[in-house]
Amino acid sequence: MTRGADGSPGGTHGRPTGLRSVASQVFALQAVIALLIVAAAALALVLQGQYDSEQDARNRSLAVAETLAHAPGIVEALRSPDPSSLLQSKAEAARRGSGVDFVAVLAPDGARYTDSDPSLIGQRAQGDIGRARAGESFTEIFHGAPNDAVRAVVPVRDETGAVVGMVSSGVEVATVGHAVQGRLPLLLGAAGIGLAFAVGGAALVSGRLRRQTHGLGPAEMTRLKEHHEAVLHSVKEGVVIVAGDGRLVLANDEARRLLKLPEDAEQRHVRELGLEPRTAALLLSGRAATDEVHPAGDRLLALNVRPTGDGAADGGCVMTMRDTTELAALTGRAEVARGRLRLLYEAGTRIGTTLDVVRTAEELSEVAVPRFADVVTVELLDPVVRGDEPSGAFTEMRRTALSGVNQEAPLQPVGDLIRFVVPSTPMASALDEGRAVLQADLAAADGWRAQDPEGAAQALAYGLHSLLTVPLLARGVVLGMANFWRGRETPEPFGEEDLSFAEELAARAALAIDNARRFTREHSMAVALQRSLLPRVLPEQSAMEVAFRYLPAKAGVGGDWFDVIPLPGARVALVVGDVVGHGLHAAATMGRLRTAVANFSTLDLQPDELLSHLDELIDRLGEEHEPGGDGGGEAGRDGGAEGTTGATCLYAIYDPTTGSCTMASAGHPGPALVRPDGSVEFPAVPAGLPLGLGLGDRPFASARLKLEPGSKLVMFTDGLLEDRHRDFDTGLELLRKTLARPGRSPEQACADVLATLLQPMPNDDIALLVAGADRIPSDRIAQWEVPSDPSAVSPVRSAAAARIAAWGLDEAGFTAELVLSELITNAIRYGRPPVRVRLVYDRVLICEVSDGSSTSPHLRHATDTDEGGRGLFLVAQFAQRWGTRYARRGKTIWAELPIAPDQAGGNGAGPVPDLDALEDLAW
């Protein structure tokens, strides 16, 4: 079923007709015509048969009548007295012999002498027989009694010519009709056969017509004709139909015009039409083509070819064509515009990806080559390159980037100082006017040639012929300039239409450069602040050999920090922390936290206690920035806020006298422990919450490790392990493999770790601390238990003096005895047992007295009349440092005595006490 243009069935727009196609209508018309012809022929044959039967009846009747009228003896019989008896038998014989229905002999007045019906003899014959009485023979159709008939009447003449009688013979009309009806079956059969042949022929013709018209109806045939006329004469696209043998079947008016076809082109072979060889070959190839551009004289034609039939090469093809000559220039300009838009889009994504001034300038030069220029140079003011505010004369700039199709361009290299001293140069004009300046022909640029005659000559000899220079302006401030050059690779010079594009490209690049400059300035300030807040050198101590590395992030300085803090009793505290966020605020917060940790460490607190105090401090700082708030919770989650920033911290204390290491974590990754044999483990440290979350009521927990001599404790921030391409667990495993090599110093271990785990562009700060554990030899440690009796002070003092002398510290012996005497006496008098004394020979002589009381002694200035209060004053005067630290139970009062008067960092042993003066001091 076919469908019309409106989608309705058939070609009649949905009207339910029995004849939907031209072929069906032609078949019906032919069938009706055949039926009418056969019917007319049958009728004609019937009429002709009737006519022939009537004529036969006339002829037979006339012949019988004439024969009997001229028969011998007929006249004598008529003259006889009884003609009927003589002629009846003869008339009957003639009737039977001739096959007529009746024969009658009549008198001149019409009376019957004989008749086939004897009852009629003697009666007068009806009808007009006057003509026969007048001597005329005739035939007629008689209507009357006894029957209608075809009869003939012939006069009988005597020897004188007088009419003596008449003979009438004829055939009844009914007899004639029976003769015709007898031939009707044959006639109708012939008519039926003729009708069948006619309908069959019409069906064959209709089938062929249906195949040729594809079952289309009249409306469709009309539309096809209209479309055909439109294609031939109205459309502005050429149409050519070629048969399988290469003959041109059809070409419309536009095709004839575009291809310049002759008038008699149709039915001629394609190669005889004078077409371009490529076009003729395409028509004969049998392949499909889409928008292939072929020349046709001075025109360019876009050809589309589709094979007809089943697409075989010998099935012919249809080709449509349109003239693209007028559109070629417009299309070229449109393509250039599209290319410029794509280039601007790429510039937006490729320029300013690193926040580095120099790299941003290089990206500008790279993105414009070779799609806009053959060579691009970028010059920036020196302060801009350093990240400072642009200042100084615009006539001097530093060449920052240079890119070209070829690297041999004879232009000053990157790093050179470029001067624009001639005001008429395009560069000076662009800076003065604040807009792009075009120099289409460099050979005619007198100012440019005068500025550097030798360099200009080399550039022209190289092939540079056109220049477009644009100042780099950001927020109304000149940062530098970009120069776009074209050489022999692009013969077409820059045009006016290139100015706006160059200004747009330069504006985007200038904004990116200014952002990079501002970032560089802020980054430099943050780095300077951060480095000023971090330790420059590590303090001297004997507990551990420490090496460290600190690397700020390239994208923005963070708040990572580390510290090594000597503690009393030859111990050392190791700290690694990380402040959430980046920038100056994070660096300042880091400095405050480091200072706070250093101050809290002077209280000689346990790691978990120190972290608790630090968390409370951060909460108070948060309340300062957010009055009425609930601490630093929200600020801690927003590293960029100006309030308190969340932080993590790992704090460890190592005691070289016992090898124990106590540590606690506030949301910070635990350390790595490298055993002397090279095995690496990550000891479990209770994971406390990060600092500054407002959860200070959650206590921190400590973990205690035993470090063997030669072990290394590795502390780090998460920036060392994590990266956008590596998760924490992967980095941890990589760190394990890197550390699992024995026999390396902490410095070597630091270098190996960074070489393995450091990314080219770290996204976060990295702090790494590697501490090798040492032990104080046991022969440099002396301990005594002191009974709770004042008399026990002297023996312990004497034993201590002997041990100090054995260590070769005679110069500090007397001072040590004095300090020990005061501290032991106070412990016995005011403290609780047990009382212990310990001497440690390290960089200084450490005197420690412990007791079970948690009461803290206070330094007082006694008056002349006071009996006591001078002991701690003496200790403070003669000790380099002194203090109190608390344990789970009890306390320890310690004092550090220098082992040489000129020891750096100490106050010397001080003068030897005057014995007379000591007498005035009461214990």
| Residue range 98-154, pLDDT digits in tens | 778 788 888 888 888 888 878 778 778 777 787 877 778 888 877 767 777 778 888
Mean pLDDT within 300-325: 78
Question: What confidence score (pLDDT) does residue 867 get?
Answer: 44
What residues contact residue 272 under an 8 Å CB cut-off, 6+ apart?
Answer: none
List the structure tokens of 837: 């004394």
Average pLDDT over residues 761-775: 86
Contact criterion met (CB below 8 Å) for 358 and 401: yes
DSSP state of 442: G
Residues in the chain: 923
Residue 849: both structure tokens together: 């007295």
pLDDT tens per residue across span 268-286: 998 888 888 888 888 888 8
Return the H-helix or E-strand segment holding 200: helix 184-213
Cα separation of 351 and 358, whole Å?
A: 11
Lowest-pLDDT choice from 139-143, 699-703, 814-818: 139-143
Query: Residue 678 phi/psi, 5° resolution?
Result: 95, -5
The 8-class DSSP code of residue 811 comes to: H
| Highest-scoring range by mean pLDDT, 124-138, 429-443, 512-526, 868-882 | 429-443
Handedness of CA 676, 680, 685, 687 (dihedral sign): positive
Q: Which strands sit side by side in the sheet containing 891-898, from one edge to the other?
A: 781-786, 835-841, 844-851, 891-898, 881-886
Q: Which of 678, 668, 684, 700 is nearest to 769 (CA)?
A: 668
Rounded Cα gap, residues 729 and 723, in angstroms = 11
Q: How far apart are CA 804 and CA 658, in angstroms?
A: 21
Under a CB-based contact definition with an 8 Å cutoff, are residues 483 and 397 in contact?
no
Count of C-beta atoms within a 10 Å radius of residue 649: 27
DSSP 280-303: HHHHHH---EEEEEEEETTEEEEE
Measure Cα distances from 627 to 590, 622, 633, 644 in Å. Answer: 22, 8, 13, 12
Residue 401 has pLDDT above 80, yes or no: yes
Eight-class DSSP state of 719? G
In this predicted structure, the answer to whether residue 923 has a pLDDT above a threshold of 50 is no
pLDDT of 858 higher than 70: no
The per-residue pLDDT for range 189-219, each reduced to its tens digit, is: 777 787 777 777 777 777 777 776 666 677 7
| CA-closest candidate to residue 638, choices 561, 586, 560 | 586
Percentage of the chain exceeding pLDDT 70: 85
Is 34 a residue whose pLDDT tops 80? Answer: no
pLDDT, tens only, 654-679: 999 999 999 999 999 999 999 999 89
Helix (H, G, I), strand (E, B) or coil at 524: helix
Residue 779 DSSP label: G
Please write the tens of the pLDDT for every residue from 314-363: 578 999 988 877 665 555 566 666 777 888 888 888 888 888 889 999 99
Res 203: pLDDT: 75
**Residue carrying structure tokens 């008519």:** 191
Q: Using an 8 Å Cβ cutoff, are 442 and 395 in contact?
A: no
Answer whether 151's CB lies under 8 Å from 183's CB: no
pLDDT value for 469: 93
pLDDT recorded at residue 8: 38
Cα–Cα nearest to 151, from 166, 162, 135: 166
Cα 783 → chain centroid: 77
Angle at 366 between CA 360 and CA 372, to 5 degrees: 125
Distances (CA, A) of 852 to 103, 255, 602, 797: 184, 116, 21, 20
Say if strands 687-688 and 660-666 run parallel, antiparallel, or are unpaired. parallel
pLDDT at 107: 85
DSSP 449-483: HHHSHHHHHHHHHHT--EEEEEEEEETTEEEEEEE
Lowest mean pLDDT among 375-389, 522-536, 855-869: 855-869
185 phi/psi in degrees, rounded to 5: -55, -45
pLDDT at residue 500, rounded to an integer:
87
Band of the pLDDT at 920, cuts 50, 70, 90? very low
* 428 has pLDDT over 70: yes
Task: Report strand pairing: 687-688 vs 647-655.
Answer: unpaired
pLDDT band at 629 (very low <50, low <70, confident <90, very high): very low
* pLDDT exceeds 60 at position 640: no
What residues form DSSP beta bridges with 295?
Answer: 300
Helix (H, G, I), strand (E, B), or coil: what is residue 424? coil
Q: Which residues 6+ apart lie within 8 Å of 457 measured at CB?
A: 449
CA-CA distances (angstroms) from residue 708 to 685, 774, 783? 18, 8, 22
Place 770 in a pLDDT band, splitting at 50, 70 and 90.
very high
- In whole numbers, what is the pLDDT of the chain averaged over residues? 80
The winner for highest mean pLDDT among 229-243, 402-416, 527-541 is 402-416
Give the single-character DSSP code of 911: P
Please state, in angstroms and rounded to a whole number, the distance separating the CA atoms of residues 434 and 476: 9
Q: How far is CA 452 from CA 138, 320, 445, 456, 480, in A?
A: 143, 60, 12, 6, 20
Query: Residue 214's pLDDT is what?
Result: 67
Contacts 24+ apart (CB under 8 A), 446-450: 447/422, 447/423, 448/422, 450/422, 450/424
Radius of gyration of the chain (CA): 67
User: What is the pLDDT, as a whole number, of residue 103?
Assistant: 84
For residues 313 and 785, the model is more confident at: 785
Identify which of 474, 511, 240 has the alpha carbon closest to the alpha carbon of residue 364: 511
Tokens of 432: 């003065």
- The partner residues of 782 in beta bridges, in order of sequence, read 839
pLDDT given for residue 906 in this prediction: 40
